[in-house]
Amino acid sequence: MSSTFTPAEVEDLIQIRRDLHAHPELAFEEVRTSGIVAERLRALGIEMRTGVGKTGIVATVKGGRPGKTVLLRADMDALPIQEENQAPYRSQVQGKMHACGHDCHTSILLAISQKLAQQAASLPGTVKLCFQPAEETGGGAVAMIEEGVLENPKPDAAFGIHVWQNLDLGKVGVTSGPFMAAVDEFTVTVAGKGSHAAMPHYGVDPVVALAHIVTALQTIASRQVSPLKEVVISVTQIRAGSAFNIIPENAWMNGTARVFDPEVWKELPGRFARVVRGVAESLGCRAEIDYRRHNHPTINDPRMAAIARAAAIEVVGADNVRDDVRTMGGEDFSAFLKQLPGCFIAIGSRNESRGLIHEHQQPRFDVDERCLEIGAEILLRTGRRFLEA
Ligand SMILES: [Zn+2]
Ligand SMILES: [Zn+2]
């Protein structure tokens, strides 16, 4: 691999990551984390605004030459998960863990900040460094945008990275077009009429109706939307009843729908409501629906993806850069990509020989830390390439 980071800088990068990993903070509570970010940026003499979107920081490195503005983003929040790893840098906070790798992203962007501070004189244009809160719960990106992160100066493009446990260390995913899915959440309450379980004909059973709804919803993906367009509908929580011999009044469910295609996404709430209401009514029940949008689909701009791919090829070689990595998982980086062209890059972090195989959001998630230098080098080069293009 080709890198401009010195061994001492890489060691520093790893140490920051371990420190952040040991001290995870949940969405919008990243006080210690953003304190460390601010302290580091201040020591580098980098101009910044703190408290943007509650705990976010936006810093600006102005180059010695005029030019465009590029935004580089890292998220900072952890998850409400109890870590089960035994590493010396494991979480020291009960019930909280960096189980998605945002500790990696924050430390990578700090390492990039240091490089940019050194390179400022030769830099054509401006780099905005965006340390974002609350990706996991959603809302962090939008909060920063509402508080002006995309103004004064307005960036011309946005780039971000995510460590990626579905990719081996040394591999990088740069996908042009749809990369991560839209994230919708639905809650349905089916109202029937309670009765004795032995005399169902005196009531209207909402449990049977809910069961039919769960099954019928799958026909949106399998029968209603083109098989060439991905749709996932997962009902993840169901609640009803209080005893084995009573048909309850209500049944409740909650879950998520994921889709890439903007047209399919637009039509999804309508399709969902038609199936739910129609099935409920056909069985004599009434359905109440709460349907929410969390994240837009994350769609990489083809021109920006080409810039990121060129940078990735420089760092890990063409054979290690894949263009087919996609997931139905979601990201609130999509809020930036809705307003700016840009690209979100997947940095392989899995290493089977070291047992680093656990998925994101799992209590044994951990990365091969060699991905940190790769991620930092690629994001740095991507930003510079954009400004120099
Ligand atoms: Zn994440
Ligand atoms: Zn996550």
| pLDDT for 138 | 83
DSSP letter (8 states) at residue 226: -
24 exposed, middle or buried (CB, 10 Å; 0-12, 13-18, 19+)?
Answer: buried
Q: Which ligand is nearest to the CA of 105?
A: 1
Kindly give the distance from the C-alpha atom of residue 302 to the centroid of ligand 1, in angstroms, as a whole number. 22
Per-residue pLDDT tens over the stretch 339-357: 999 999 999 999 999 999 9
Question: Measured in angstroms, how far is the CA atom of residue 376 from the centroid of ligand 1?
Answer: 16
- Residue bearing tokens 């309450």: 189
What is the structure's pLDDT at 244? 98
How many CB atoms lie under 10 A from the CB of residue 38? 18
Dist. CA 228 → ligand 2 center (Å): 27
Ligand 1 mean position, distance from CA 349 (Å): 13
Neighbours of ion ligand 2 (CB under 5 A): 100
The ligand that comes nearest to the alpha carbon of residue 360 is 2
How far is the C-alpha of 122 from the C-alpha of 94, rounded, in Å? 46
Q: Tell me, in angstroms, the distance from the centre of ligand 2 to residue 21's CA.
A: 14
Output the CA torsion sign for 296, 361, 175, 10.
positive
Q: Is residue 71 within 8 Å of 144, Cβ to Cβ? A: no
Distance 288 CA to ligand 1 centre (A): 32
> What pLDDT is stored for residue 2 in this prediction?
84
Ligand 2 centre to CA of 100 (Å) is: 5
Cα–ligand 2 centroid distance for 360 (angstroms): 6
Closest CA to 185 of 268, 274, 299, 76: 268
Residue 372 Cα to ligand 1 middle (Å): 15
pLDDT in tens, 324-342: 999 999 999 999 999 999 9
For residue 218, the CA-to-ligand 1 centroid distance in Å is 27
CB 46 within 8 A of CB 59: yes
pLDDT at 1: 80
Give the Å distance between the CA of 243 and the centre of ligand 2. 37
By DSSP bridging, strand 124-132 and strand 56-62 are: antiparallel
Q: Which portions of the chain are predicted below pLDDT 70?
A: none
Q: What sign does the dihedral 349-351-352-355 (CA atoms) show?
A: negative
pLDDT of residue 258: 97
Find the ligand nearest to 75 CA. 1
- Give the residue from 177, 173, 182 showing the smallest Cα distance to 335: 182
Ligand 1 center–CA 114 separation, angstroms: 23
Q: Are 165 and 365 in contact, with CB atoms under 8 Å apart?
A: yes
Nearest CA to 252 out of 280, 231, 281, 278 is that of 280
For 54-156, strand residue ranges (E) read 56-62, 65-75, 124-132
> Which ligand is the nearest neighbour of the Cα of 349?
1
The conformation of residue 45, written as its DSSP 8-state character, comes to T
Which ligand is located closest to the Cα atom of residue 137?
2
| Token output for 204 | 């209207």
Whole-number Å distance, alpha carbon 27 to ligand 1 midpoint, is 12
The terminus-to-terminus CA distance of the chain in angstroms comes to 23
Closest to 13 (Cα-Cα) out of 328, 367, 372, 382 = 372
- Entry field: residues in the chain: 389
pLDDT at 80: 97
Distance from the alpha carbon of residue 136 to the mean position of ligand 2, in angstroms: 5
Ligand 2 centroid distance, CA of 137 (Å) = 9
